């Protein structure tokens, strides 16, 4: 695996700035990386989150914060806490009905907008050229921002072509820094690419130790489209947090199961966006850049793959 990654373009200077431990992890990065996101703050002073360079040159943190189901006051407080402990990438969506809460959390944090990487997603029933332009404006109004770092088509349904055209125009106008998709299969990416003038930068798909995406994972690598994992902990399903195989690996490294899972995503070059409303968990989930899973750990984790969704109700 290391040999394969030696061919990847890695800008080591950014990592050297972030310290030797972080530099070592660069060997696992799939694309060029030269920026480190992070916070100097009292609770998590040493957090530095490496970034991945998207295929349009924009930098995105390899670890972000998921917000599905974090609505209202809980949503606002969670986003505020997440930013305060060092997260700089926040993932939301129209369909989560929490863009206002996420926006309020961002505002309350007092952080400079330029320090953040904000993603939202277009829901299916708003698809099409006009619908997308309107939906985008509604999303940024609710979030209290005048641009998005990343806007994704949430599911490959509805008028994808019309939506993509609108997103390309918004991108060219500087209202969106990067555009991508979510839950797209290879044939759906092929279709998109048949008319796209701007290539998607990323595909956000269900990925965790029980569904390792062994078809899409290499396919996205080949396309130079970043693989982003939704539900990096399978949302706790299949008793992931008490899995004995993961517990053994966690014990060996003096880490938690959550940290092993996130480190596994990171070493595969997959961006992860864990959700938590528990500040201690948020902090714990950032502490993954000071250890390394070895070959035998990775081989063992590979055996956990069930190769099927843990969310059949969404298929
Ligand atoms: N594009 C799509 O179709 C799609 C679909 C689903 C999700 N997503 C995105 O992906 C994000 C993450 O996925 P998810 O929300 O489904 O779930 P997830 O991140 O896989 O898991 C969240 C669960 O893990 C628990 N947890 C977090 N850190 C923990 C720790 N250190 N120790 C123990 N438990 C921990 C949380 O509980 P606590 O709150 O108690 O910590 C919560 O119950 C979403 O929030 C959303 O932004 C996208």
Active site residue 87: no
pLDDT value at residue 24:
34
| pLDDT confidence bin for 315, thresholds 50/70/90 | confident
| pTM of the predicted model as reported, rounded to 2 decimal places | 0.90
Give the closest residue (by CA) to ligand 1 atom 21: 235
How many angstroms does the Cα of residue 231 sit away from the middle of ligand 1?
5
How many angstroms does the Cα of residue 138 sit away from the middle of ligand 1?
25
Give the closest residue (by CA) to ligand 1 atom 9: 230
pLDDT value at residue 83:
97
User: What is the overall mean pLDDT for the chain?
Assistant: 89
Ligand 1 lined by 264 (C-beta under 6 Å): no
Give the closest residue (by CA) to ligand 1 atom 29: 281
Above 50 in pLDDT, residue 192? yes
| pLDDT confidence bin for 37, thresholds 50/70/90 | confident
Ligand 1 lined by 182 (C-beta under 6 Å): yes
pLDDT value at residue 45:
53
Region 85-100: mean pLDDT is: 98
For the stretch 249-283, pLDDT in tens is 999 999 999 999 999 999 999 999 999 999 999 99
Q: Which of 7-11, 108-112, 176-180 has the lowest mean pLDDT?
A: 7-11
Pocket test for ligand 1, best of 150, 213, 274 (most atoms within 8 A of CB): 274
Ligand 1 lined by 204 (C-beta under 6 Å): yes
Please tell me which residue in 96, 129, 147, 217 is annotated as part of the active site. 96
Above 90 in pLDDT, residue 39? no
HEC states along the chain? CHHHHHCCCCCHHHHHHHCHHHHHHHHHCCCCCCCEEECCCCCCCCCEEEEEECCCCCEEECECEECCCCCHHHHHHHHHHHHHHCCCEEECCHHHCCHHHHHHHHHHHCCCHHHCEEEEEECHHHCCHHHHHHHHHHHHHHHCCCCEEEEEECCCCCCHHHHHHHHHHHHHCCCEEEEEEECCCHHHHHHHHHHCCCCCCEEEEECECCECCCCHHHHHHHHCCEEEEECCCHHHHHHHHHCHHHHHHHHHHCCCHHHHHHHHHHHCCCEECCECCCHHHHHHHHCCCCCCCCHHHHHHHHCCCCCCCCCHHHC
For the stretch 213-224, pLDDT in tens is 999 999 999 999
């Amino acid at each position: 695996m290391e040999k394969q990654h030696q061919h990847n373009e890695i800008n080591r200077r950014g990592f050297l700035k972030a310290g030797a431990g972080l530099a070592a992890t660069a060997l696992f990065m799939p694309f060029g990386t030269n920026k480190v996101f992070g916070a100097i703050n009292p609770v998590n002073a040493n957090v530095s989150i490496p970034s991945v360079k998207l295929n349009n040159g924009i930098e995105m943190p390899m670890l972000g914060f998921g917000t599905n189901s974090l609505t209202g006051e809980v949503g606002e407080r969670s986003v505020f806490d997440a930013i305060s402990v060092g997260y700089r990438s926040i993932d939301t969506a129209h369909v989560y009905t929490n863009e206002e809460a996420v926006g309020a959390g961002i505002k309350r944090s007092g952080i400079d907008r330029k320090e953040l990487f904000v993603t939202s997603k277009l829901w299916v029933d708003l698809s099409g050229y006009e619908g997308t332009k309107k939906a985008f404006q509604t999303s940024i109004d609710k979030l209290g921002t005048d641009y998005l770092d990343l806007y994704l088509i949430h599911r490959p349904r509805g008028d994808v072509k019309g939506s993509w055209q609108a997103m390309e125009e918004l991108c060219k106008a500087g209202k969106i820094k990067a555009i991508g998709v979510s839950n797209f299969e290879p044939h759906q990416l092929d279709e998109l690419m048949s008319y796209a003038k701007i290539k998607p930068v990323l595909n956000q798909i269900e990925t965790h130790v029980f569904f390792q995406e062994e078809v899409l994972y290499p396919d996205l690598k080949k396309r130079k489209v970043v693989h982003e994992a939704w539900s990096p902990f399978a949302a706790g399903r299949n008793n992931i947090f008490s899995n004995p195989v993961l517990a053994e690996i966690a014990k060996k490294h003096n880490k938690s199961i959550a940290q092993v899972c996130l480190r596994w995503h990171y070493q595969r070059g997959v961006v992860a966006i864990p959700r938590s409303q528990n500040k201690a968990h948020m902090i714990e989930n950032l502490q993954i850049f000071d250890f390394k899973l070895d070959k035998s750990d990775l081989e063992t984790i590979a055996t956990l793959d069930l190769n099927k969704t843990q969310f059949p109700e969404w298929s």
